[in-house]
Chain A
Amino acid sequence: MAAHPPTASRRRWGSTVAGVLVLGVMLFPLYWMLNTALQPESGLLQVDPVPGSLDLSGFSKAISDQGGHLLTSLAVSLGAVAICLAISAPAAYGLARFGLRGSRTIVFGTLITQMVPGIVIANALYNSYVDLGLVNSYFGLMLADASLGIPFSIVLMRSFMVSIPGEVIEAAQIDGAGPVRTFTRVVLPMSRNSLITSGLFAFLFSWSDFMFALTLNTTDEVKPITLGIYQYIGAHVGDWGSVMAASVLSAVPAAVLLVLAQKYIAAGITGGSVK
């Protein structure tokens, strides 16, 4: 190693190679998911390292078995995002700018909520949901899933809205805009990035949710893909090709969002946790 001190650029590419290796190890399980999905015939046997010939029958079976659950996930997640943003954006603004008495307590409470174990919420919620007729309903699941994103979104958007210059808001008020119009016409457009980040994460939280899907549904009426796959594997242990194909499909939103909205994802992970 030390015999020939490498040039600066060669050392840099050396790090790239090491980085690719690290990435390869970290992403191997996901590669294996795709690989298995493309070799449906190998069901119970060992799987070849690379698919010899692409067999899409696993995917077509997965789509016919699980396609509806993918759509359910999509509908529930979009609904959860809408509820989450509608509730947390005004709250974030109010907590950031109005100086209301009790604001600090509310922000404190928001942080606390992130520590309540989901299964504890489900435990109590199930009983209320039974009483309210919200079990096995899209709306009930959307509400529960929205709870995954709301504290996160309030914290994230609030920390952004605190930094909006006061002059901008005062200028809007001098122009005769009341608080509602100031919020919709000035604050929301300026907060676009934090809104997108919050919405993205609310979507990912909801899309990944398994616990509420598992506990708040007793029939097959409202079944998101996470629950679909979980039950699929119970019923089709031999048919790994289709199970993995369904898994690949359920991972697609995460992969797409990561590629298309990389900076928002990074902002969400750092901003939502440290602040």
Chain B
Amino acid sequence: MTTSTVTAQTPAKASAPAAAPDPARAARRRRLTQWGFVAPAVVFMLLFFGYPLVRNVVMSFQHYTPKTFFTGEAPFNGTDNWSNVFQDALFGKALWHTLVFTAGSLVGQFCIGMALAVFFSRRFPLNGVLRSLILLPWLVPMVVSGIVWRRILDQDTGVLNSFLDTLGVGGGTPWLTSPEMALLSVILVNIWIGIPFNMVILYGGLQEIPKELHEAAALDGASAWRTFRSVTLPVLKPVITVVLVLGFMSTVKILDLILALTDGGPADATQTLGTLTYQNSFVQLDFGAGAVVGNVLILISAVFAVFYLRANRTEGK
């Protein structure tokens, strides 16, 4: 790259002398142009990800009231928010629900997604079409899926109960209206949403496995299940890790689906850290308390981020 081209391509500095070959200056200018490509993204990410992270920590030590939005004053109050949140029985409940919701969703999504990935690895007519249409539940806005399922799961008029009625089992189940069932129902709907994503990634992973591996196992007389356990699963491990960690990331913070299905109820039975953050900040207008719960959510995510990055590193090799 010559000095003149760089100068010509820097419109803002067009007046700079094109004929002065100063290598050090040219190099500096080249670096500057190159940083010009990256800088907007760095600034954007600092503003929209870095700053909120810091701000949430600060906010968790501030006292917010509805009045704050008129006066702009949010005095620092030490660890009051933290102790208030931790002493509230709802926090423990929400933490527990988050863990159950996340674990249940991941296990369900993964097992069914894996089964479908294996199924679609067989060759049969219309395989590609069916495989791509199955993606639809994942692409529809989550809040819309939640509302559709709310209709389906309605205790009296929902189609699931009338179907179960016809079978003579479990008609009239209060899927979303009883505290005992609601969390399970929300998990089941989230499993439905997550199956396509798990399936597509695992399917991709399965296609990468060399055919010879399975042929060798077959020659050794291994059964299909044995081959799956001893050949497929170990080879697929990096992909599995990525799927599970990404699934964790998107599940642990879920908000849309729960608000659409149950609004956190009944009797806080589906309140999670995500919905509790929202409730504290945007319903109670206590942003300090919301920030505390949000920070706990970040902490949990951070632990798993470590797993993700380790998985990524092995992927890259």
On A, residues with C-beta under 8 Å from B are 12-16, 18-20, 22-23, 26-27, 29-30, 32-33, 36, 44-47, 86-88, 90-91, 93-95, 98, 100, 103, 106, 108-128, 130, 143-144, 146-147, 150-151, 154, 173, 176-181, 183, 204, 207-211, 214-215, 225-226, 229-230, 233, 240, 243-244, 247, 250-251, 254-255, 257-258, 262, 265-266, 269-270, 273-275
The A-contacting residues of B in range 15-47, CB under 8 angstroms, are 30-31, 33-38, 40-42, 44-45
Question: CB within 8 A of A125: which of B52, B137, B312?
Answer: B52
The 10 closest A-B pairs by CB, nearest first: A178-B9, A91-B41, A94-B37, A124-B52, A117-B253, A15-B124, A124-B55, A254-B139, A208-B141, A94-B38
Closest chain B residue to A255, Cβ basis? B136
Chain A residues in 8 Å Cβ range of B282: 122, 126, 214-215
User: Does any Cβ of A come within 8 Å of B317's Cβ?
Assistant: no
Once A22-B116, A147-B49, A254-B140 are accepted as A-B contacts, the answer to whether A265 and B37 lie under 8 Å apart by CB is: no
Question: CB within 8 A of A117: which of B119, B127, B143, B294?
Answer: B294
Once A173-B1, A257-B139 are accepted as A-B contacts, the answer to whether A119 and B151 lie under 8 Å apart by CB is: no
Interface centre among A93, A103, A119 (most CB of B within 10 A): A119
Interface centre among B8, B38, B204, B302 (most CB of A within 10 A): B38
B281 touches A46 (CB 8 A): no
Chain A residues in 8 Å Cβ range of B48: 121, 125, 143-144, 147, 150
B95-134 vs A: 1/0 string, CB under 8 Å? 0000000000000000000001001101111110010111
Closest chain A residue to B142, Cβ basis? A208
On B, residues with C-beta under 8 Å from A are 1, 5-6, 8-10, 30-31, 33-38, 40-42, 44-45, 48-49, 51-53, 55-56, 59, 69, 116, 119-120, 122-127, 130, 132-137, 139-145, 147-152, 157, 159, 162, 192, 195-197, 200-201, 204, 239, 242-243, 246, 249, 252-253, 255-256, 259-260, 274, 277-278, 281-282, 287, 290-291, 294-295, 297-298, 301-302, 304-305, 308-309, 312, 315
Q: Is the interface of B mostly helix, strand, loop or mixed?
A: helix
* CB of A217, distance to nearest CB on chain B (Å): 11
* CB of A102, distance to nearest CB on chain B (Å): 9
Ordered by A's residue number, 10 sampled pairs between the chains whose C-beta atoms are within 8 Å are A13-B124, A29-B145, A94-B34, A117-B301, A125-B52, A179-B33, A210-B259, A226-B256, A247-B147, A273-B243
